[in-house]
Amino acid sequence: MEKLTLKIIESFNLPKRSYKPDYDDNGYEFTLPNGIVLEGLFMCNNEPTEMDMLEGLDGWICIETEDELKELISMTYGQVINKIAEEHDDFHLNDYIE
């Protein structure tokens, strides 16, 4: 299982948008084919980071490996939220149904 890096993430050719969550952090948002947006920081506290993790859906998704990213890309939006609901009793499915 290979740990995520920005190079690995970019190899998937996902749409990417830069964002600035606060004055000393910078990150990228990557949009998966299923519409889920994953975020990762490449600058934290004005220091470069390795971008070794992506988060999405208000923190319900947190991935650290290439295999986890591949799995998310292969799933539909419904499959992703149903999987989260099965794994977390405190996940409110209705908050994420379009």
Res 1 pLDDT > 90: no
For residues 35 and 93, the model is more confident at: 35
Distance from C-alpha of 1 to C-alpha of 77, rounded to nearest angstrom: 24
In a domain, 17, yes or no: yes
Question: Residue 58 sits in which domain range?
Answer: 6-96
CB 83 within 8 A of CB 75: yes
> pLDDT per residue over 43-65, tens digit each?
999 998 888 999 999 999 999 99
Distance from C-alpha of 21 to C-alpha of 32, rounded to nearest angstrom: 20
Query: pTM for the whole thing?
Result: 0.90
CA atoms within 13 A on the CB side of 41: 14
Count of domains for the chain: 1
Compute φ and ψ for 96, nearest 5 degrees.
Answer: -120, 5
In a domain, 1, yes or no: no
In a domain, 56, yes or no: yes
